[in-house]
A and B are shown apart, each in its own frame.
Chain A
Amino acid sequence: MKKDFTREHLLYLRKEKLRKLAVHLTQAAVLIVALGFWELSAQLGWSDSFITSSPSRVWKTLVELIAGGTLWRHMWTSTWETLAGFAIGTALGYAVAVILWWNGFLKEVFEPYVVVLNSLPKIALGPVIIILVGADKASIITMAVLISVVITTITILNGFVETDKEKILLLRSMGANRFQIFTKLVAPANVPTLMATLKINVGMAWIGSIMGEYLASKEGLGYLLVYGKQVFRLDLVMTCTVVLCALAGLMYALVALIEKTVSRRY
């Protein structure tokens, strides 16, 4: 779509572009300065690089890990666990929200339980999970599910309940049943709520899978973190953290992309 812009409009667009560029440049500068300071403090001995590591040591460890082929395995394990926890947690939380929205009686009955479960630090259930599910991947995924499922139910149910009453009245006057009210109104009206929940759950699922790996695991980034701590290789700990940042950021960006595509319609 090519349009003839006025001179003032072009000026405005250029100004906006420059502003965007300035933001990105500053963002890059912040990162570079932070990394530079970190490296410098290690080189000049302001801090003990054995404890705080340094960008160059992280880089070296990263290269070693990649060359050894172990990094991919650990990354893949954690990512897979997180994705499984994310998908199951979101789907299950959504399903529970639908049931509680559908049946006002059940909603009233289970509201206090949901509130208590939400406040409960899910890590407290770790030992129980390991005994019930077993000390393997299943218990890690269970942890990720547990952490994301309750908040999903609460957020989605809130969205459902706050659906415009007047719109429900309109559908009822047309003779809609509860199923139709859900499919024609409540579900589409809450697509933005679902998208917001997905964003929250990226973080929740990562917390769950890494925590689960702390408790019981043979591989994964959480395992590597604990291992690094035990053998006092802080370079390894820092490297894992950086890799985790990258993975979580990537997953968030993917969800944000989905949201952008979907929210154009809602």
Chain B
Amino acid sequence: MKVLELKDVSKVFYTKTQETQAVSHLSFDVNEGEFVSIIGPSGCGKTTVLSLICKLIKPTCGSVELSGNSHVGYMLQRDQLFEWRTIEKNVYLGLEIQRRLTPENKQYADGLLKKYGLWEFRKHRPSELSGGMRQRAALIRTLATDPDLLLLDEPFSALDFQTRLDVCDDVYSIIKSEKKTALLVTHDISEAISLSDRIVVLTARPATVLAIHEPKLNDLASPLKRRESPEFSKQFELLHRYLHGEKK
């Protein structure tokens, strides 16, 4: 089942002096349970694509279709936890906003906290947690509203390299065990290969689909394992050539 479908989407931004076509005739879809990544040269409008999917901005033409009543969960580059709230209250934030803080939903959120080792920190302030734990708390906040589609906007780029690999594994295993569909935006080719079932390669601005690549590393359980596979470097080269060739 398709969770998300973009059909021929274009987006033009206007300023006083110029109009910028950020996205042009972009079409791709995401199936239920899939992990899809979008990569492209920097400044190619990846974040615009996420804003379009979130319905924060409207496409100039074309359509963005989310299946059923599917609502999305957005995870940003930095964890954006509110310092004046405890971890628990941060996790409830989405439910509060959507006026769905019912005992059942609260129980579900508490369940996530317990399952992923943040229960004992639930009364702590974000600043008392490590970077990796904060990012995990941010993921649980996103999951607490039980979204049908997770949008991940370079969620690891603010972390140092060692932490990034660990958090990447962590986030991947949580998403898989919760059986969530995810769409990741990144400029990091190895991150995309190690996480995704499919990779959508975008062109430079205006963004459109250059290629759709399937890493086919699914038999390897974790992103770290995938990074070690001999296939990995071949695919890295291939994708690098796509992006590099595009720049010329």
Contact = CB atoms under 8 A, between A and B. Distances in A.
A binds B: yes
Interface of A: 164, 166-167, 169-176, 180, 184-185, 188-189, 191, 265-266
Which 3 A/B pairs are nearest by Cβ-Cβ distance?
A173-B74, A174-B97, A174-B94
B145 A170 contact: no
Interface stretch (B80-88, B166-174, B196-204): B80-88
Nearest to A177: B97
- Interface majority SS (helix, strand, loop, mixed), chain B: loop
B114 interface: no
Contacts of B151: 173
Contact of A176 (B77, B78, B80, B97): B97
13 contacts: A166-B77, A166-B78, A172-B56, A173-B54, A173-B56, A173-B73, A173-B151, A175-B97, A176-B97, A180-B97, A191-B84, A265-B84, A266-B84
B103 to A, nearest CB: 20
A171 B97 contact: yes
Contacts of B96: 184
B72 A173 contact: yes
A164 B151 CA distance: 20
B82 A167 contact: yes
A2 B65 CA distance: 60
A171 B145 CA distance: 13
Contacts of B71: 175
Nearest to B95: A174
Nearest to B47: A169
B97 A184 contact: yes
B97 A169 contact: no
Contacts of A188: 82, 84
Contact of A169 (B73, B76, B93, B98): B76
B74 to A, nearest CB: 4
B84 A170 contact: no
A180 B94 CA distance: 11
A185 B98 CA distance: 15
Nearest to A171: B97
Contacts of B98: 174-175
Interface string B40-55: 0000000000000010
A184 B81 CA distance: 12
Contacts of A167: 80, 82
Most central of B74, B84, B97, B98 by chain A CB within 10 Å: B97
A266 B82 CA distance: 9
Interface in B88-111: 93-94, 96-98
Contact of B56 (A169, A180, A184, A185): A169
Contacts of B80: 164, 166-167, 170
A266 B83 contact: yes
A166 B97 contact: no
